[in-house]
Amino acid sequence: MKQYLALCQRLIDQGEWIENKRTGKRCLTVINANMTYDVGQNQFPMVTTRKTFWKSAIAELIGYLRGYDSAADFRQLGTKTWDANANLNEAWLNNPYRTGDDDMGRVYGVQGRRWSKPDGGHIDQLKKLIDNLSQGIDDRGEILTFYNPGEFHMGCLRPCMHTHTFSLLNDTLHLTSYQRSCDVPLGLVFNQIQVFTLLALIAQITGHKAGLAYHNIVNAHIYEDQVELMRDVQLQREPFDPPKLHINPDIKSLEDLETWVTMDDFEVEGYQHHEPIQYPFSV
Ligand SMILES: Nc1nc(=O)c2c([nH]1)NC[C@@H]1CN(c3ccc(C(=O)N[C@@H](CCC(=O)O)C(=O)O)cc3)CN21
Ligand SMILES: O=c1ccn([C@H]2C[C@H](O)[C@@H](COP(=O)(O)O)O2)c(=O)[nH]1
Protein backbone atom coordinates (compact mmCIF):
# COMPACT_ATOMS: atom_id res chain seq x y z
CA MET A 1 0.00 0.00 0.00
CA LYS A 2 2.90 2.36 0.79
CA GLN A 3 4.42 1.65 -2.63
CA TYR A 4 1.09 2.39 -4.28
CA LEU A 5 0.61 5.67 -2.43
CA ALA A 6 4.22 6.69 -3.14
CA LEU A 7 3.61 6.18 -6.86
CA CYS A 8 0.37 8.20 -6.72
CA GLN A 9 2.16 11.03 -4.91
CA ARG A 10 5.06 10.89 -7.38
CA LEU A 11 2.58 11.25 -10.25
CA ILE A 12 1.00 14.29 -8.63
CA ASP A 13 4.37 15.89 -7.75
CA GLN A 14 6.51 14.97 -10.76
CA GLY A 15 4.16 13.70 -13.47
CA GLU A 16 4.37 15.29 -16.91
CA TRP A 17 1.26 16.04 -18.97
CA ILE A 18 1.17 13.78 -22.02
CA GLU A 19 -1.52 13.73 -24.73
CA ASN A 20 -3.01 10.29 -25.43
CA LYS A 21 -4.41 9.87 -28.94
CA ARG A 22 -6.33 6.65 -28.35
CA THR A 23 -8.52 8.03 -25.57
CA GLY A 24 -8.32 11.72 -26.52
CA LYS A 25 -7.34 12.56 -22.94
CA ARG A 26 -4.23 13.99 -21.31
CA CYS A 27 -2.45 11.96 -18.66
CA LEU A 28 -0.09 12.90 -15.84
CA THR A 29 2.71 10.43 -16.57
CA VAL A 30 5.89 9.06 -15.04
CA ILE A 31 8.20 6.41 -16.46
CA ASN A 32 9.36 3.35 -14.52
CA ALA A 33 7.92 2.19 -11.24
CA ASN A 34 8.94 -1.04 -9.53
CA MET A 35 6.87 -2.65 -6.82
CA THR A 36 7.69 -5.76 -4.79
CA TYR A 37 5.12 -7.92 -3.02
CA ASP A 38 6.00 -10.44 -0.33
CA VAL A 39 3.80 -13.37 -1.27
CA GLY A 40 5.59 -15.74 1.12
CA GLN A 41 4.60 -13.51 4.03
CA ASN A 42 1.09 -13.08 2.58
CA GLN A 43 1.18 -9.29 2.53
CA PHE A 44 -1.68 -8.89 0.10
CA PRO A 45 -1.21 -5.59 -1.79
CA MET A 46 -4.77 -4.41 -1.66
CA VAL A 47 -5.49 -0.69 -1.67
CA THR A 48 -7.11 0.37 1.62
CA THR A 49 -7.60 4.09 0.93
CA ARG A 50 -10.68 3.20 -1.09
CA LYS A 51 -12.87 0.13 -1.35
CA THR A 52 -11.29 -2.40 -3.71
CA PHE A 53 -13.29 -4.93 -5.69
CA TRP A 54 -10.72 -7.67 -5.28
CA LYS A 55 -12.97 -10.50 -6.53
CA SER A 56 -13.31 -8.69 -9.81
CA ALA A 57 -9.51 -8.47 -10.09
CA ILE A 58 -9.03 -12.18 -9.37
CA ALA A 59 -11.84 -13.10 -11.79
CA GLU A 60 -10.00 -11.19 -14.50
CA LEU A 61 -6.81 -13.14 -13.76
CA ILE A 62 -8.59 -16.52 -13.81
CA GLY A 63 -10.21 -15.55 -17.12
CA TYR A 64 -6.76 -14.87 -18.61
CA LEU A 65 -5.44 -18.19 -17.30
CA ARG A 66 -8.39 -20.00 -18.87
CA GLY A 67 -7.75 -18.32 -22.20
CA TYR A 68 -11.07 -16.47 -22.35
CA ASP A 69 -11.73 -14.20 -25.30
CA SER A 70 -15.28 -13.08 -24.49
CA ALA A 71 -16.40 -10.37 -22.06
CA ALA A 72 -19.47 -12.57 -21.39
CA ASP A 73 -17.25 -15.32 -19.94
CA PHE A 74 -15.52 -12.73 -17.75
CA ARG A 75 -18.93 -11.50 -16.55
CA GLN A 76 -19.96 -15.02 -15.66
CA LEU A 77 -16.80 -15.45 -13.59
CA GLY A 78 -17.55 -12.20 -11.76
CA THR A 79 -16.12 -9.18 -13.54
CA LYS A 80 -17.44 -6.60 -15.98
CA THR A 81 -14.04 -5.09 -16.64
CA TRP A 82 -13.91 -6.14 -20.32
CA ASP A 83 -17.41 -4.99 -21.29
CA ALA A 84 -16.34 -1.53 -22.41
CA ASN A 85 -13.27 -2.56 -24.39
CA ALA A 86 -15.16 -5.38 -26.13
CA ASN A 87 -18.35 -3.45 -26.88
CA LEU A 88 -17.82 0.31 -26.79
CA ASN A 89 -14.52 0.99 -28.53
CA GLU A 90 -15.23 2.48 -31.98
CA ALA A 91 -12.07 1.15 -33.62
CA TRP A 92 -12.75 -2.40 -32.40
CA LEU A 93 -16.46 -2.26 -33.33
CA ASN A 94 -15.40 -1.53 -36.91
CA ASN A 95 -12.67 -4.17 -36.94
CA PRO A 96 -13.41 -7.04 -39.39
CA TYR A 97 -11.90 -9.57 -36.96
CA ARG A 98 -14.52 -8.81 -34.28
CA THR A 99 -16.90 -11.80 -34.33
CA GLY A 100 -19.83 -10.23 -32.46
CA ASP A 101 -21.05 -8.99 -29.07
CA ASP A 102 -18.52 -9.37 -26.25
CA ASP A 103 -15.74 -10.67 -28.51
CA MET A 104 -12.35 -9.40 -27.35
CA GLY A 105 -10.34 -11.03 -30.12
CA ARG A 106 -6.87 -12.51 -29.81
CA VAL A 107 -5.82 -10.84 -26.57
CA TYR A 108 -4.28 -11.89 -23.24
CA GLY A 109 -5.32 -15.47 -22.46
CA VAL A 110 -5.71 -16.43 -26.10
CA GLN A 111 -2.01 -15.72 -26.55
CA GLY A 112 -1.18 -17.38 -23.23
CA ARG A 113 -2.97 -20.63 -24.03
CA ARG A 114 -3.24 -20.74 -27.84
CA TRP A 115 -0.36 -18.82 -29.40
CA SER A 116 -0.51 -19.57 -33.13
CA LYS A 117 2.60 -21.18 -34.57
CA PRO A 118 3.57 -20.02 -38.07
CA ASP A 119 3.99 -23.65 -39.13
CA GLY A 120 0.58 -24.69 -37.80
CA GLY A 121 -0.86 -25.58 -34.40
CA HIS A 122 -0.71 -23.73 -31.11
CA ILE A 123 1.48 -23.28 -28.06
CA ASP A 124 0.08 -23.49 -24.53
CA GLN A 125 2.61 -21.37 -22.62
CA LEU A 126 0.90 -21.78 -19.26
CA LYS A 127 0.75 -25.57 -19.41
CA LYS A 128 4.43 -25.77 -20.38
CA LEU A 129 5.58 -23.69 -17.44
CA ILE A 130 3.32 -25.46 -14.94
CA ASP A 131 4.58 -28.85 -16.16
CA ASN A 132 8.20 -27.74 -15.86
CA LEU A 133 7.89 -26.06 -12.47
CA SER A 134 5.95 -29.05 -11.08
CA GLN A 135 8.99 -31.20 -11.92
CA GLY A 136 11.36 -28.70 -10.30
CA ILE A 137 12.58 -27.44 -13.67
CA ASP A 138 13.30 -23.77 -14.34
CA ASP A 139 14.79 -23.56 -17.84
CA ARG A 140 15.31 -19.79 -17.41
CA GLY A 141 12.50 -19.29 -19.85
CA GLU A 142 9.40 -20.03 -17.75
CA ILE A 143 7.59 -17.17 -19.43
CA LEU A 144 3.93 -16.44 -20.01
CA THR A 145 3.68 -13.62 -22.53
CA PHE A 146 0.58 -12.12 -24.04
CA TYR A 147 2.56 -9.70 -26.21
CA ASN A 148 2.14 -10.75 -29.83
CA PRO A 149 2.61 -7.74 -32.14
CA GLY A 150 1.76 -9.88 -35.19
CA GLU A 151 -1.81 -10.20 -33.88
CA PHE A 152 -2.46 -6.78 -32.32
CA HIS A 153 -4.83 -6.00 -35.20
CA MET A 154 -6.94 -9.04 -34.19
CA GLY A 155 -7.72 -7.87 -30.64
CA CYS A 156 -9.56 -5.06 -28.88
CA LEU A 157 -6.57 -3.84 -26.85
CA ARG A 158 -2.88 -4.54 -26.63
CA PRO A 159 -2.08 -6.30 -23.35
CA CYS A 160 -0.96 -3.93 -20.61
CA MET A 161 0.50 -6.37 -18.11
CA HIS A 162 1.97 -8.53 -20.81
CA THR A 163 4.77 -10.78 -19.57
CA HIS A 164 5.18 -12.92 -16.46
CA THR A 165 8.46 -14.75 -15.81
CA PHE A 166 8.64 -17.41 -13.10
CA SER A 167 11.93 -18.27 -11.39
CA LEU A 168 12.54 -21.27 -9.19
CA LEU A 169 15.35 -20.88 -6.69
CA ASN A 170 15.66 -24.17 -4.82
CA ASP A 171 12.12 -24.68 -3.48
CA THR A 172 10.95 -21.07 -3.66
CA LEU A 173 9.10 -19.63 -6.65
CA HIS A 174 9.42 -15.95 -7.60
CA LEU A 175 7.66 -13.93 -10.27
CA THR A 176 8.66 -10.92 -12.34
CA SER A 177 5.77 -9.20 -14.14
CA TYR A 178 6.14 -6.53 -16.77
CA GLN A 179 3.55 -3.86 -17.54
CA ARG A 180 3.88 -1.40 -20.43
CA SER A 181 0.98 0.92 -19.57
CA CYS A 182 -0.73 1.48 -16.24
CA ASP A 183 -3.89 3.39 -15.28
CA VAL A 184 -2.85 3.94 -11.66
CA PRO A 185 -6.24 4.83 -10.08
CA LEU A 186 -8.12 1.92 -11.73
CA GLY A 187 -5.94 -0.66 -13.46
CA LEU A 188 -3.11 -0.82 -10.96
CA VAL A 189 -5.42 -1.55 -8.04
CA PHE A 190 -6.35 -4.72 -9.93
CA ASN A 191 -2.92 -5.46 -11.37
CA GLN A 192 -1.22 -5.54 -7.95
CA ILE A 193 -3.75 -8.12 -6.78
CA GLN A 194 -3.25 -10.12 -9.98
CA VAL A 195 0.55 -10.26 -9.77
CA PHE A 196 0.37 -11.38 -6.14
CA THR A 197 -2.37 -13.96 -6.77
CA LEU A 198 -0.66 -15.33 -9.88
CA LEU A 199 2.47 -16.19 -7.89
CA ALA A 200 0.46 -17.59 -4.96
CA LEU A 201 -1.62 -19.79 -7.28
CA ILE A 202 1.20 -21.12 -9.44
CA ALA A 203 3.34 -21.83 -6.35
CA GLN A 204 0.42 -23.78 -4.85
CA ILE A 205 -0.25 -25.73 -8.04
CA THR A 206 3.39 -26.59 -8.68
CA GLY A 207 4.12 -27.48 -5.03
CA HIS A 208 6.60 -24.77 -4.12
CA LYS A 209 6.88 -22.01 -1.54
CA ALA A 210 5.92 -18.60 -2.83
CA GLY A 211 8.62 -15.94 -2.56
CA LEU A 212 8.60 -12.42 -3.97
CA ALA A 213 6.64 -10.93 -6.85
CA TYR A 214 8.33 -8.06 -8.69
CA HIS A 215 5.96 -5.80 -10.61
CA ASN A 216 7.77 -3.62 -13.13
CA ILE A 217 5.78 -0.84 -14.72
CA VAL A 218 6.91 1.38 -17.60
CA ASN A 219 4.34 4.11 -18.37
CA ALA A 220 2.34 4.89 -15.21
CA HIS A 221 -0.38 7.50 -15.61
CA ILE A 222 -3.44 9.22 -14.19
CA TYR A 223 -6.03 10.44 -16.71
CA GLU A 224 -6.89 14.12 -16.49
CA ASP A 225 -10.41 13.43 -15.19
CA GLN A 226 -9.04 11.29 -12.32
CA VAL A 227 -6.45 13.72 -10.94
CA GLU A 228 -8.68 15.73 -8.61
CA LEU A 229 -10.13 12.64 -6.90
CA MET A 230 -6.66 11.19 -6.44
CA ARG A 231 -5.03 14.39 -5.16
CA ASP A 232 -7.83 15.83 -3.03
CA VAL A 233 -9.61 12.71 -1.82
CA GLN A 234 -7.66 9.45 -1.96
CA LEU A 235 -4.24 10.87 -1.09
CA GLN A 236 -5.68 12.65 1.95
CA ARG A 237 -6.60 9.33 3.58
CA GLU A 238 -4.50 7.25 5.99
CA PRO A 239 -3.92 3.63 4.87
CA PHE A 240 -4.84 0.61 7.01
CA ASP A 241 -2.69 -2.51 7.55
CA PRO A 242 -2.72 -4.94 4.60
CA PRO A 243 -5.15 -7.88 4.64
CA LYS A 244 -4.31 -11.54 3.91
CA LEU A 245 -5.37 -13.66 0.94
CA HIS A 246 -6.51 -17.25 1.43
CA ILE A 247 -6.76 -19.61 -1.53
CA ASN A 248 -8.65 -22.90 -1.31
CA PRO A 249 -5.89 -25.52 -0.77
CA ASP A 250 -7.88 -28.01 -2.90
CA ILE A 251 -6.74 -26.12 -6.01
CA LYS A 252 -3.89 -28.39 -7.04
CA SER A 253 -3.68 -28.36 -10.82
CA LEU A 254 -4.21 -26.35 -13.97
CA GLU A 255 -7.23 -28.53 -14.64
CA ASP A 256 -8.75 -27.50 -11.29
CA LEU A 257 -8.30 -23.86 -12.31
CA GLU A 258 -9.92 -24.52 -15.66
CA THR A 259 -12.89 -26.56 -14.47
CA TRP A 260 -14.37 -25.77 -11.06
CA VAL A 261 -12.65 -22.78 -9.44
CA THR A 262 -14.92 -19.83 -8.66
CA MET A 263 -14.40 -16.63 -6.73
CA ASP A 264 -15.69 -18.48 -3.63
CA ASP A 265 -12.33 -20.27 -3.55
CA PHE A 266 -10.65 -17.00 -2.58
CA GLU A 267 -11.05 -15.20 0.72
CA VAL A 268 -9.60 -12.00 2.09
CA GLU A 269 -9.05 -11.72 5.82
CA GLY A 270 -8.84 -8.46 7.74
CA TYR A 271 -9.65 -5.97 4.98
CA GLN A 272 -10.22 -2.51 6.43
CA HIS A 273 -10.84 0.24 3.91
CA HIS A 274 -12.10 3.76 3.35
CA GLU A 275 -15.21 4.67 1.32
CA PRO A 276 -15.34 3.68 -2.37
CA ILE A 277 -14.23 6.24 -4.97
CA GLN A 278 -15.65 6.04 -8.46
CA TYR A 279 -12.92 6.97 -10.88
CA PRO A 280 -13.84 7.74 -14.49
CA PHE A 281 -12.86 4.96 -16.93
CA SER A 282 -11.39 5.78 -20.34
CA VAL A 283 -12.26 3.47 -23.25
N1 LIG B 1 -8.48 3.00 -19.27
C2 LIG B 1 -8.35 1.71 -18.88
N3 LIG B 1 -7.92 1.45 -17.64
C4 LIG B 1 -7.79 0.16 -17.21
O5 LIG B 1 -7.38 -0.02 -16.06
C6 LIG B 1 -8.11 -0.89 -18.12
C7 LIG B 1 -8.57 -0.58 -19.41
N8 LIG B 1 -8.69 0.73 -19.76
N9 LIG B 1 -8.95 -1.56 -20.29
C10 LIG B 1 -8.70 -2.95 -20.00
C11 LIG B 1 -8.69 -3.27 -18.57
C12 LIG B 1 -10.02 -3.29 -17.87
N13 LIG B 1 -9.63 -2.93 -16.50
C14 LIG B 1 -10.51 -2.35 -15.59
C15 LIG B 1 -11.76 -1.94 -16.02
C16 LIG B 1 -12.65 -1.35 -15.14
C17 LIG B 1 -12.27 -1.18 -13.81
C18 LIG B 1 -13.27 -0.56 -12.89
O19 LIG B 1 -14.25 0.00 -13.30
N20 LIG B 1 -13.05 -0.66 -11.59
C21 LIG B 1 -13.94 -0.05 -10.59
C22 LIG B 1 -15.15 -0.93 -10.30
C23 LIG B 1 -14.85 -2.40 -10.29
C24 LIG B 1 -16.04 -3.31 -10.00
O25 LIG B 1 -17.11 -2.84 -9.60
O26 LIG B 1 -15.88 -4.52 -10.18
C27 LIG B 1 -13.15 0.20 -9.32
O28 LIG B 1 -13.60 1.04 -8.53
O29 LIG B 1 -12.10 -0.42 -9.12
C30 LIG B 1 -11.02 -1.60 -13.38
C31 LIG B 1 -10.14 -2.18 -14.28
C32 LIG B 1 -8.23 -2.69 -16.43
N33 LIG B 1 -7.98 -2.25 -17.78
O1 LIG C 1 -4.50 -4.59 -16.81
C2 LIG C 1 -4.59 -3.43 -17.27
C3 LIG C 1 -5.16 -3.17 -18.50
C4 LIG C 1 -5.20 -1.88 -18.94
N5 LIG C 1 -4.70 -0.87 -18.20
C6 LIG C 1 -4.82 0.51 -18.71
C7 LIG C 1 -3.57 1.25 -19.07
C8 LIG C 1 -4.07 2.27 -20.07
O9 LIG C 1 -4.67 3.36 -19.37
C10 LIG C 1 -5.16 1.51 -20.80
C11 LIG C 1 -4.68 0.87 -22.08
O12 LIG C 1 -4.42 1.83 -23.02
P13 LIG C 1 -3.21 1.74 -24.09
O14 LIG C 1 -3.48 2.91 -24.99
O15 LIG C 1 -3.36 0.44 -24.81
O16 LIG C 1 -1.92 1.87 -23.34
O17 LIG C 1 -5.57 0.50 -19.91
C18 LIG C 1 -4.16 -1.12 -16.95
O19 LIG C 1 -3.73 -0.21 -16.23
N20 LIG C 1 -4.11 -2.40 -16.53
Tell me how far the alpha carbon of residue 20 lies from the centroid of ligand 1, in angstroms.
18
The pLDDT tens digits of the residues spanning 129-166 come to 999 999 999 999 999 999 999 999 999 999 999 999 99
CB neighbour list of residue 205: distance below 8 Å, 6 or more residues apart: 130, 134, 251, 252, 253, 254, 256, 257
95-122 confidence digits (pLDDT tens): 999 999 999 999 999 999 999 999 999 9
Q: Confidence band (pLDDT; 50, 70, 90) for 1?
A: confident
Sheet (strand 16-20) strand order: 16-20, 25-38, 209-223, 172-183, 161-169, 142-145
What atom of ligand 2 comes closest to residue 180's alpha carbon? Answer: 16
pLDDT digits (tens, 9 = 90+) for 167-199: 999 999 999 999 999 999 999 999 999 999 999
| Cα of 178 from ligand 1 centre, angstroms | 18
Looking at residue 198, its pLDDT comes to 98
Residues with CB under 6 A from ligand 2: 22, 157-158, 160-161, 181-183, 187-188, 191
What's the CA-to-centroid distance between 119 and ligand 1, angstroms? 36
Instruction: Pinpoint the alpha helices (H) of 156-276.
Output: 187-206, 227-228, 254-259
- Residue 185 is predicted with a pLDDT of 98
22 is in an annotated binding site: yes
ipTM of the complex: 0.98
Q: What pLDDT is recorded for position 268? A: 98
Concerning whether 160 is annotated as a catalytic residue, the answer is yes
**Residue nearest atom 14 in ligand 2 by C-alpha distance:** 22
pTM above 0.90, yes or no: yes
